[in-house]
A = this chain, B = another copy of it.
Amino acid sequence: MPEIRRVSTATNPDTGAAGTTAAAAVSSVARPAAPVHARKPEGFSVAGKALPRADSYAKVTGAAIYADDIALPRMLFGKLLRSTQAHARILRVDCSRAQALPGVVAVATGEELPVRYGILPSSPDETVFAIEKVRYVGEPIAAVVADDELTAEEALNLIEVVYEPLPAVMTIDEALRDASPKIHEESRRSDNVHKEVHLEFGDVEAGFAQADAVFEDEFFYEGNTHAAIEQHAVVADCSADGKITIWSSSQTPHYLHRIASAVLQVPASRLRVVAPPIGGGFGGKTEPFPHELAAAHLARKTGRPVKFALTRQEVFYTHRGRHPVKMKIKTGVKRDGSILACRLQTWLDGGAYGSYGVATTYYTGALAPVTYKMGAYAFDGCRVYTNKPPCGPKRGHGTTQPRYALECQLDKIAGALGLDAAAYRKRIAIDPYSETINHLRVTSCGLRECIDEVERRTGYSGRHGALPRGKGIGLAVSAYLCGAGLPIYWNPMPHSGAIVKVDRGGGVTVYCGTSECGQGSEHMLAVVVAETLGVDVMDVRVCAGDTDLTPVDLGSYSSRVTFMAGNAAHEAAESVRLRLAQAAGALLGIAPERCGFAARRVFDVGDPDRAVTFLEAAQAAEARFGTLVGSGSYTPPANLHGDFKGSGVGPSPAYSYTACVAEVGVDLETGEVRVERLTLAHDCGRALNPDIVEGQIEGSAYMGLGEALLEESAFRRDEHKIPNLLDYKTPTILDTPHIDAIIVETDDREGPFGAKEAGEGPLNPVIPAIANAVADAIGVRVYATPILPESVLRALDASPSGRLRLKSAPSPVPV
């Protein structure tokens, strides 16, 4: 179990325990009213405990049924024909020979599913199969379903596609050119720009003018992909009454439900989407995909169940991963480092379609000021289309790249001004319960405490700049959302709904539309409900990720589940608890408010030995009030960004904070960087289950390491260079250093039992911390990710001290 530091100073000011130390004095900024969820007066019984997850039993024994484990009688296997061209006009698609192959049951092409869709209503630029044009190598053109997978595969070879090749646009710079070949002809622009954002908060130019020093840097963050171990899979079935069911490894079953209804042209009520347990998503399964919609279409067309299971190569084409982003950052500071003005410019390589790209573009600008006070802030974002697999959200969605740029530049500023980079960051850190320069509302904030913790563990301040050449230590911090404050579709609407049912037998069921993608979301909901009702976590059955059975939840992305679905489940459980307290209070002869709930008992908080069992309370309450069902929902407050609408998709009801120290060794001969230790302190609000939070910190650290040093979506001409896990280098256990995960607990006033997020935030500071450590080790800076040995060697070559020259011939680079 990880070490937990409880930050009383960041405690919810609304509930009394005010901060006492000057360092983290509660900000005096006016706090907008927000619903304060009832706290349990008697302390916690299951929240905060490192309990085993109910779903872990099935997972470690291999009993869990993932999408690709589903097999239905008479099931057909589907395969997608994918484009071999990055950019081409489709002159003809002839499936007749494929259709004639024995064992092939049906084929489908673009004209059967002409509805254009996009996960964001503002970017409806996709169809299930390419129509008229293909826009990247790997784009689906047609589908075949057959009695077996090999036959379907064979039939793909019999489909004839006649292309008229067009020039491919493969880089941001090419896409920005006026003369660039148009990827989406319907765009009214002369270039391939998909989305531009220009925001300014305060007078940035005035800030630069007043500054003692102005720093300007350019960084490039390479794209990379999720590399979840489970490849996407879907099974669809159309029942005898015409109702379609889709089981898919989807983080967002309700979005798939909505878009499948539009694309297949069936009422939503005649469509059911179920998300089985997911073997990792990381954002890569958060929007509807052609294979999902094709499966549903072909199940309806054939009257038989249809499975599509993507190969690893297809997963690379499906992508929707991290955008490559070119960034310019200009920061004006006073002599003491205080930021007077900051201008961030980002150019995102979006690939061929919109995906969540509009949101990604906003995100590249939104969260920089959530960690630091700034006098003025301007943001210019620009996303372009290119002829590559579409980019989308990956853990840290859009905030990872600018965080890298910002934290690297801050290290340069600290160095230039002679400041200790840790103390400097603490000094300019945002205050709890304050507002950022871009009008985002901050609630709890344990950022300073996180910095303290990693400093305490690593001795960063004493060691930075003082290690032998080839050894380095780097620090970075970050903040992340607890779900987006604005919904994708209507506004206002609840982002999460939940139902809680208490049975006559003492069992509790919680229904929620989230999907369990390995992060422990179902356990979190069970903890919130069990804590509220005072039962065992194993008494709570979670029914999740099923559009028929669960209320709408936007899905398992954007680090929103614990916070938003947790709040909905909490509200639902509270409404049942109220009735239980009335019934138990009557049995005990005390007021309902005096009822405590723990250990399957309802007791008098003034005299805990006076109690009835939970079962007795449930039966008495059911007799009195009828079936014990409560519902709850969570809608973020409306004023998360003050009066300033232009804050776009940035607002979140709360933000997590992380600090990371990386310790590295750089082989000055080969340029290889080895991370020796990663120390992360993460403010997740209340840690509802410290083991799960620790797991999320470790997983984020591991993934960040891969992005910093190894992973890249590399293209050779117009084709993905390494669409396989042999060549796409995610870290192995041998690459993974010791990770120290420290939990800094704040008590967020709006999170369920004070909880915030832990699933994404810890990733962001890892990359700049490693970059800063490498700079510390070699004395020069690499301005792009991943920091490959050749980049290190190039940087060393350009530096005054240069690389360590070999006496003999160089040995092969061991990466």
- The residues of A with any CB-CB pair to B shorter than 8 Å are 54, 57-58, 60-61, 63, 239-242, 254, 257-258, 261, 267-272, 490, 492-494, 497-499, 501, 503-509, 511, 535-536, 538-541, 543, 547-549, 551-552, 568, 619, 622-623, 626-627, 629, 631-633, 635
CB <8 Å contact, A631 and B627: yes
Query: Which of B257, B493, B538, B627 contacts A551, CB < 8 Å?
Result: B627
Q: Which among A60, A241, A498 has the highest number of chain B CB atoms within 10 Å? A: A241
- Nearest chain-B residue to A504 (Cβ)? B552
Q: Which residue of B lies closest to A489 (CB)?
A: B504
Pick from B242, B497, B509: contact of A626, CB under 8 Å: B497
Residues on B with C-beta less than 8 A from A499 are 499, 501, 627, 629
A506 to B269, CA, bound (A): 6
Q: Which residue of B lies closest to A496 (CB)?
A: B627
Q: Closest B-chain residue to A71, C-beta based?
A: B73
B626 and A494 contacting across the interface, CB-CB below 8 Å:
yes
CA distance A293 to B263 in the complex (A): 47
Whether B623 contacts A490 by the Cβ 8 Å rule is: yes
* CA A552 to CA B621, docked complex, whole Å: 14
Do the beta carbons of B552 and A503 come within 8 Å of each other?
yes
Contact: B627 with A63, CB < 8 Å? Answer: no
Query: Using Cβ atoms and an 8 Å threshold, which residues of chain B touch A622?
Result: 493-494, 552, 633
* Cβ-neighbour of A494 out of B271, B509, B627, B633 (below 8 A): B627
Nearest-neighbour CB distance to chain B for A244, whole angstroms, equals 12
A86 vs B287: C-alpha distance in the bound complex, in angstroms? 65
The residue of chain B having its C-beta at the shortest distance from the C-beta of A58 within the complex is: B240
* A626 contacts B619, C-beta separation under 8 Å: no
> Contact between B627 and A633 (Cβ–Cβ < 8 Å)?
yes
Partner of A239, one of B58, B60, B493: B58
Which of A239, A272, A635 gathers the greatest number of chain B CB atoms within 10 Å? A239
| A-B pairs with beta carbons under 8 Å apart, 30 shown | A54-B241, A57-B239, A58-B240, A60-B240, A241-B538, A261-B505, A267-B506, A267-B507, A268-B506, A268-B507, A269-B505, A270-B539, A272-B541, A490-B623, A492-B623, A494-B627, A497-B627, A498-B627, A499-B627, A503-B551, A504-B552, A505-B547, A507-B547, A549-B549, A551-B629, A622-B633, A626-B631, A626-B633, A627-B633, A629-B629
Closest residue to A629 on the B side, CB-wise? Answer: B631
Q: How far is the CB of A535 from chain B (nearest CB, A)?
A: 8
Contact of A57 among B54, B240, B254 (CB under 8 A): B240
Q: How far is the CB of A516 from chain B (nearest CB, A)?
A: 14
- Of A54, A60, A63, the most chain B CB neighbours within 10 A belong to A63
Docked CA distance A548–B511 (Å)? 10
Task: Enumerate chain B residues within 8 angstroms of A633, measured Cβ to Cβ.
Answer: 622, 626-627
> Smallest distance from the beta carbon of A375 to chain B beta carbons, Å?
38
Task: Assess the B240–A61 pair: CB atoms within 8 A.
Answer: yes
- Bound-state CA distance A568–B627 (Å) is 9
Could you tell me the distance in whole angstroms from the C-beta of A605 to the nearest C-beta in chain B? 24
Q: State the CA gap A241–B60 with chains docked (Å).
A: 10
